[in-house]
Amino acid sequence: MTQPSEKSYGTAVCFAGVFGLLGIQHFYLGRYLLGLLDLGLSVAAFAFFFLGQSTESIIFGMIFLLIDIVHSIYVLVKLLAGEYEDGEGRLVMYPGQKIHPENVV
Q: What is the pLDDT of residue 52?
A: 80
CA gyration radius, the chain: 16
Q: What is the pLDDT of residue 105?
A: 52
Q: 3-class SS at 85?
A: strand
How far apart CA 69 and CA 32 sit, in angstroms, is 18
Examine residue 2 and state whether it is found in any structural domain, yes or no.
Answer: no
Examine residue 16 and state whether it is found in any structural domain, yes or no.
Answer: yes
In the chain, which stretches have pLDDT less than 70? Answer: 1-2, 100-105
Q: Which amino acid type is present at position 95? A: P
How far apart CA 82 and CA 87 sit, in angstroms, is 15
Residues near 67 by Cβ (< 8 Å), separated by ≥ 6? 41
Q: What is the pLDDT of residue 85?
A: 93
Q: What's the predicted TM-score (pTM) here? A: 0.86
How far apart CA 17 and CA 11 sit, in angstroms, is 10
Examine residue 103 and state whether it is found in any structural domain, yes or no.
Answer: no
Q: 3-class SS at 91?
A: strand
Find the domain containing 55 and state its range.
Answer: 9-94
Q: Which amino acid type is present at position 59? A: I
Examine residue 99 and state whether it is found in any structural domain, yes or no.
Answer: no
Examine residue 60 and state whether it is found in any structural domain, yes or no.
Answer: yes
Q: How many domains does the chain have?
A: 1
Examine residue 32 and state whether it is found in any structural domain, yes or no.
Answer: yes
Examine residue 3 and state whether it is found in any structural domain, yes or no.
Answer: no
